[in-house]
């Protein structure tokens, strides 16, 4: 089975976020980065499918030159090769539509049987790249996947729904799935894997020409305003309690 896994490099969760000089994105020139967590689960699922059914796992990443960090990490974990769509300029200028267009152009001719993405990114959390990529490639897709069973030229997948419910559906191949975090137990790169990753192929694709696919523009990025809105309730006993309940019900709408 030939599987593509789309991954993203994101700022680590511990890094103190600061807005850049133009106010349109964060200052990432001195930030530390890591592999997007949902994408790590997608990669792990691809590696497990390869171990069970054979084939090839190719990681695909649209990002600036520094994204080679997470590409090498994915190769060290067991991916066979990689495709790096190099972005120029501010990464925040590329919305989900642009990223999906770039990835589709880079992998369309590879004839993948299965494409996996994380459910969403840790930084923006739109959860749109996977479904837009499926539309661009003309593939059937399913989202929020918790289990994947492959066989007989198709897939049987378990989707997570609301309220603790799950749904099993069947899909033909080729198909695209967006993987939910926690679907499996992540593996980590071994010393042998790290050394082997240095010799694995990374095909680079120019991505600047497709930036016109962006359909949204970030006007302003800012930290939430901090303000104290403490309200003091006068009175005592039953009267104060009645006022508190009324405000919780009518103003805060928490009861």
The band of 83, judged by pLDDT with boundaries at 50, 70 and 90, is: very high
pLDDT for the residue 40: 97
pLDDT of residue 51: 96
Please tell me whether residue 178 adopts helix, strand or coil conformation. strand
Of the candidate CATH numbers 3.40.50.300, 3.40.50.620, 3.40.50.261, 3.40.50.12780, the domain formed by 2-213 belongs to 3.40.50.620
| Model pLDDT for residues 115-167, shown as the tens digit of each residue | 999 999 998 888 999 999 999 999 999 999 999 999 888 999 999 998 889 99
Dump strand ranges (E) for the chain: 2-7, 9-11, 33-35, 56-63, 81-86, 114-118, 141-151, 154-160, 166-172, 175-179, 202-206
Q: What is the mean pLDDT of residues 231-236?
A: 82
For 1-17, the pLDDT digits (tens) are: 999 999 999 999 888 88
244-247-250 Cα angle (round to 5): 145
pLDDT above 80 (res 75): yes
pLDDT category of residue 210 using cuts at 50, 70 and 90:
very low
**pTM above threshold 0.95:** no
Q: Is the pLDDT confidence value at 22 over 90? A: no
- The mean per-residue pLDDT over the stretch 12-27 comes to 84
> How far apart are the C-alpha atoms of 236 and 239, rounded to whole Å?
6
Tell me the two tokens of residue 85.
Answer: 């769509």
Task: Report whether 203 contacts 142 (CB < 8 A).
Answer: no
Residue bearing the bigger pLDDT, 23 or 3: 3
Whether the predicted pLDDT of 211 surpasses 60: no
Q: What is the pLDDT of residue 208?
A: 61
pLDDT of 102 higher than 60: yes
Q: Calculate mean pLDDT across residues 52-63.
A: 95
Backbone angles phi, psi at 177, to 5 degrees: -125, 140
Is 66 a residue whose pLDDT tops 70? yes
Q: pLDDT at position 212, please?
A: 59
Q: Where are the domains of the chain?
A: 2-213
């Amino acid at each position: 089975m030939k599987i593509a896994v789309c991954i993203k490099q994101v700022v680590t969760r511990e890094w103190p976020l600061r807005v850049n000089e133009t106010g349109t994105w964060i200052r990432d020139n001195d930030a530390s980065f890591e592999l997007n967590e949902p994408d790590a689960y997608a990669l792990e699922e691809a590696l497990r499918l390869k171990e069970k059914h054979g084939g090839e796992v190719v990681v695909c990443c649209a990002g600036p030159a520094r994204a080679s960090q997470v590409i090498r990490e994915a190769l060290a974990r067991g991916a066979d090769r990689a495709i790096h769509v190099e972005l120029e300029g501010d990464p925040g200028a590329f919305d989900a539509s642009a990223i999906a267009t770039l990835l589709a152009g880079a992998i369309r001719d590879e004839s993948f049987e299965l494409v996996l993405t994380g459910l969403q990114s840790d930084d923006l959390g739109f959860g749109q790249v996977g479904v837009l990529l499926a539309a661009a490639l003309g593939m059937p897709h399913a989202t929020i996947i918790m289990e994947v069973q492959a066989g007989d030229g198709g897939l049987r997948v378990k989707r997570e729904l609301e309220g603790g419910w799950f749904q099993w559906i069947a899909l033909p191949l080729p198909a695209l799935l967006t993987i939910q975090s926690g679907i499996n137990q992540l593996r980590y790169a071994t010393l042998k894997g790290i050394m082997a990753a240095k010799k694995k192929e990374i095909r680079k694709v120019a991505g600047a020409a497709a930036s016109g696919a962006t359909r949204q523009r970030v006007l302003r990025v800012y930290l939430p305003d901090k303000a104290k809105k403490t309200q003091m309730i006068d009175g005592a006993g039953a009267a104060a309690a009645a006022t508190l309940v009324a405000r919780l019900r009518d103003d805060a709408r928490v009861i």
